[in-house]
């Protein structure tokens, strides 16, 4: 049964609506995503841990929930904000409604609010802490609790989403390469995209030691997407520095781009409201081609776009930029031998959900390993 629900932002702006999914109270960073489709992949992306996600698309839930498209074992968003939920889901793969799935996983949501006004507010004021409740309908009291929550800046969250035990995703067809994928919040489509290319992927916990990485004799190293502030990635950053020192080819996605930036000595910083959606234009600076990409990031690498950066491992440069706001969307490192050693992107070539324009990056990783095999 739907009940009254309240959403309060940390600056006091409040939206009254109707409960969606589970009842109760929840807190997190309020962000918005512009994806018209792909809500199942969004909800189950571990990078959304501790975030209250607003969908700018007004109709959500139309295709229900299926048993194939989850990007991890569960829904990670802290809360969910939808304008107008589908009353009757309809899709040949649907097994249940989104509302039922949110309830089953105890995810508190709110519907029936003006998500356009909320999005415009977040664009103007920036992503901020928020709370949704069906129990505390007094805005002042809910605000008091919102202000007690920890901010996203400084949040070390990879340890809360990473796998406890290593596991192997076998290569499809003939095995060509072995890759260690450090799981900072990995989406299941990422190892799949590698295994399709003959890569045996050893997914390992975020705290894995250099010895344990080298024990499987990897041809390449991968670091995944993940939640939280990249300034807290001390262990993965140190590990990556050691692996670059040993000339191990590297590919990183999203958090893996930020870890790479930090390993190269660059800084990271929080964007005002981030990039989230599956319609984000990115320029490949080497080819001049534009890709439409899937994105979900609130932080970015601080690097000079027109200049190269000298690092202990070779020369680094910005390979991709956002065409919306010029934010760094990719990095490339040319090793001391003059060949590309490592690269990463801030966006999501695994495209789950999202357009497949950037799938070539997985091929580029294969080429990188071929060149160094």
Ligand X SMILES: NC(=O)CC[C@H](N)C(=O)O
32 binds ligand X (CB under 6 A): no
User: What is the DSSP code string of 10-47?
Assistant: TTS-EEEEEEEEB-SEEEEEEEEE--SS-HHHHHT-GG
- Cα separation of 123 and 129, whole Å? 14
Q: Is 296 marked as a binding-site residue?
A: yes
What are the distances in angstroms from CA 330 to CA 4, 175, 297, 318? 44, 28, 13, 6
Window of 110-118, 123-131, 208-216, 225-233 that interacts with ligand X by CB under 6 A: 225-233
251 binds ligand X (CB under 6 A): no
Cβ(32)–Cβ(122) below 8 Å: yes
Closer to ligand X by CB, 17 or 252: give it: 252
- Cα separation of 134 and 6, whole Å? 6
Q: How far is CA 56 from the centre of its chain?
A: 18
Helix (H) or strand (E) holding 237: helix 234-245
- Cα separation of 81 and 42, whole Å? 13
Closer to ligand X by CB, 77 or 136: give it: 77
299 binds ligand X (CB under 6 A): yes
Residues 6+ apart with CB under 8 A from 74: 44, 105
296 binds ligand X (CB under 6 A): yes
User: For the CA atoms of 279, 298, 72, 363, what is the dihedral angle to 10 degrees?
Assistant: 60
Q: Is 299 marked as a binding-site residue?
A: yes
89 binds ligand X (CB under 6 A): no
Cβ(184)–Cβ(256) below 8 Å: yes
CB of 346 to ligand X, least distance (A): 8
CB of 338 to ligand X, least distance (A): 30
| Three-state DSSP class for residue 129 | strand
Closer to ligand X by CB, 177 or 255: give it: 255
Which segments of 94-225 are extended strands (E)? 108-111, 128-133, 167-169, 177-182, 199-204, 220-223
CB of 203 to ligand X, least distance (A): 15
CB of 347 to ligand X, least distance (A): 9
Q: How many residues bind ligand X (CB under 6 A)?
A: 11
Window of 96-104, 209-217, 224-232, 279-287 that interacts with ligand X by CB under 6 A: 224-232
Q: Which of 33, 47, 162, 358 binds ligand X (CB under 6 A)?
A: 47
Q: Is 24 marked as a binding-site residue?
A: no
- Cα separation of 95 and 63, whole Å? 10
Cβ(1)–Cβ(80) below 8 Å: no
User: For the CA atoms of 172, 176, 182, 185, what is the dihedral angle to 10 degrees?
Assistant: -30
225 binds ligand X (CB under 6 A): yes
Cβ(255)–Cβ(184) below 8 Å: yes
Q: Which of 112, 298, 330, 349 binds ligand X (CB under 6 A)?
A: 298
227 binds ligand X (CB under 6 A): yes
Angle between helices 255-263 and 234-245 (to 10 degrees): 60
Beta-strand relationship, 220-223 and 250-253: parallel
Q: Is 97 marked as a binding-site residue?
A: no
CB of 229 to ligand X, least distance (A): 7
Q: Is 28 marked as a binding-site residue?
A: no
CB of 74 to ligand X, least distance (A): 17
Q: Which of 20, 80, 255, 365 binds ligand X (CB under 6 A)?
A: 255
Q: Which residues are catalytic?
A: 254, 348, 350
CB of 127 to ligand X, least distance (A): 9
In the block, tokens 């990635």 appear at: 233
Closer to ligand X by CB, 202 or 297: give it: 297
Q: Which of 228, 249, 261, 354 binds ligand X (CB under 6 A)?
A: 228
Q: Which of 180, 182, 239, 254 binds ligand X (CB under 6 A)?
A: 254
Window of 104-112, 286-294, 296-304, 317-325 that interacts with ligand X by CB under 6 A: 296-304
Q: Is 47 marked as a binding-site residue?
A: yes
What is the binding site for ligand X (CB under 6 A)? 47, 225-228, 254-255, 296-299
What residue numbers does the annotated binding site for L-glutamine cover?
A: 47, 226, 228, 255, 258, 296, 298-299
What residue numbers does the annotated binding site cover?
A: 47, 226, 228, 255, 258, 296, 298-299
């Amino acid at each position: 049964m739907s009940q009254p629900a309240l959403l309060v932002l940390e600056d006091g702006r409040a939206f009254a609506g109707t409960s969606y999914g589970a009842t109760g109270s929840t807190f997190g960073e309020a962000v918005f995503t512009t994806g018209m489709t792909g809500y199942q992949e969004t909800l189950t992306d571990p990078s959304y841990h501790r975030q209250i996600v607003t969908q700018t698309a007004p109709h959500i839930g139309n295709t229900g929930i299926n048993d194939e498209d989850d990007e991890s074992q569960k829904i990670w968003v802290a809360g969910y904000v939808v304008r107008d939920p589908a009353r009757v889901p309809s899709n040949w793969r649907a097994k249940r409604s989104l509302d039922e799935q949110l309830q089953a996983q105890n995810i508190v949501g709110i519907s029936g609010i003006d998500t356009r006004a909320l999005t415009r507010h977040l664009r103007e004021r920036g992503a901020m802490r928020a709370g949704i409740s069906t129990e505390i309908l007094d805005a002042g009291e809910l605000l008091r609790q919102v202000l007690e929550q920890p901010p996203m800046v400084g949040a070390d969250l990879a340890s809360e989403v990473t796998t406890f035990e290593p596991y192997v995703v076998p290569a499809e067809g003939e095995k060509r390469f072995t890759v260690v994928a450090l799981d900072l919040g990995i989406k299941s489509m990422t190892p799949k995209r590698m295994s399709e290319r003959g890569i045996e992927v050893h997914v390992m916990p975020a705290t894995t030691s250099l010895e344990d990485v080298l024990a499987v004799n990897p041809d390449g190293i991968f670091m995944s997407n993940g939640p939280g502030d990249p300034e807290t990635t001390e262990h993965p950053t140190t590990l990556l520095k050691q692996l670059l020192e040993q000339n191990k080819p590297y590919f990183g996605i999203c958090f893996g781009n930020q870890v790479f930036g930090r390993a190269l000595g660059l800084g990271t910083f929080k964007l005002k409201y981030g990039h989230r959606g599956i319609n984000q234009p990115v320029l490949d600076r080497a080819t001049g081609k534009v890709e439409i990409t899937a994105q979900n990031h609130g932080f970015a690498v601080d690097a000079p776009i027109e200049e190269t950066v000298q690092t202990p491992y070779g020369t680094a440069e910005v390979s991709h930029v956002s065409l919306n706001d010029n934010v760094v969307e990719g990095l490339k490192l040319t090793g001391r031998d003059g060949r590309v050693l490592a690269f990463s992107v801030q966006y999501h070539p695994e495209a789950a959900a999202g357009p497949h324009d950037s799938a070539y990056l997985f091929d580029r990783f294969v080429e990188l390993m071929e060149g160094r095999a």
